[in-house]
Amino acid sequence: MANTTTRPFPVAIPVNSGDIVIRQFQPKDADQVHALLIEGLVYGPESPHNVAQHRNLFGRVSCVAYLGFALGLGCLCRNNIVFRFAGGALTLGATTLFVYMRRMITKMFIHFCARARETDMGDIPHFYDVPLSADSTQSSQPQGPGGFWVAAIESAEDKSSEVVGYLGLDYRAIPDPTSGELRRMIVSMNHRRRRIASLLITASMDHARRHAPPLETLDLETTEFQPGARKLYENHGFSLVGTRIMRMGPLFSMTVLRLRRKVFD
């Protein structure tokens, strides 16, 4: 296995169907990168969307819906027509509120993915300053502080490339020229527990060190619905420096955590 702490990308790790290679983004990866975005944030079993939906079952709005539904059922059992009418209205209103919340959460996460595709992930080479060769099929060096790494299973037999994870280093997000921001960390749900996320972070850190100065610190953001990601980042030396509330609808918000570490310890 390659020494990933010192060797620049690409890094290869043998798997049954080929080698997991950490390399810079290529235009041919775009469709797979976009598909992984919505898988990782919305449809994956450990996605922040699914975590948010699970927590919503015990949230304030859901508890109000449960209470309203229970009261409505109680009223429906009464013989009085007024109570029955009120009970029907309560059960219908509570059910509508519960369904609305769940649909709104899904809609907000899907909108987040769509917004990402319209902004930085719409033109990854341009936004993340990934230089391309003349035929636009290979990343070429040297490059600036920015970058966008993909973890891909490269098969020597059929020359195929399956993107199973990625991570960007944005050098434009923070006005301070000594800071960069790691963004869009995603690993395929079918390839978890293979150190792919750690390899991507290592590649980005190695790249940042080669551009220090000007780079001195790296920031990133994660959410309350991604506890595993926060633990991973903290294991790589990042520490919490602040939080903010992101409102994603009239009845739903989430806490965004900002973490930071120095390029050199």
Decide: 207 and 182 in contact? Cβ < 8 Å: no
What pLDDT, on a 0 to 100 scale, did the predictor assign at position 3?
Answer: 35
Q: How far, in Å, CA of 210 to CA of 217, rounded?
A: 13
| pLDDT tens digits, 95-110 | 999 999 999 999 999 9
| pLDDT tens digits, 31-77 | 999 999 999 999 988 899 999 999 999 999 999 999 999 999 999 99
What is the domain partition of the chain in residue ranges? 11-28+128-262
Sheet architecture: strand order including 239-249:
11-15, 18-24, 147-154, 161-170, 179-187, 217-223, 252-262, 239-249
- According to the CATH classification, is domain 11-28+128-262 in 3.40.50.12160? no
End-to-end CA distance of the chain: 25
Backbone angles phi, psi at 62, to 5 degrees: -65, -40
What pLDDT, on a 0 to 100 scale, did the predictor assign at position 140?
Answer: 55
Q: What is the pTM of this model?
A: 0.83
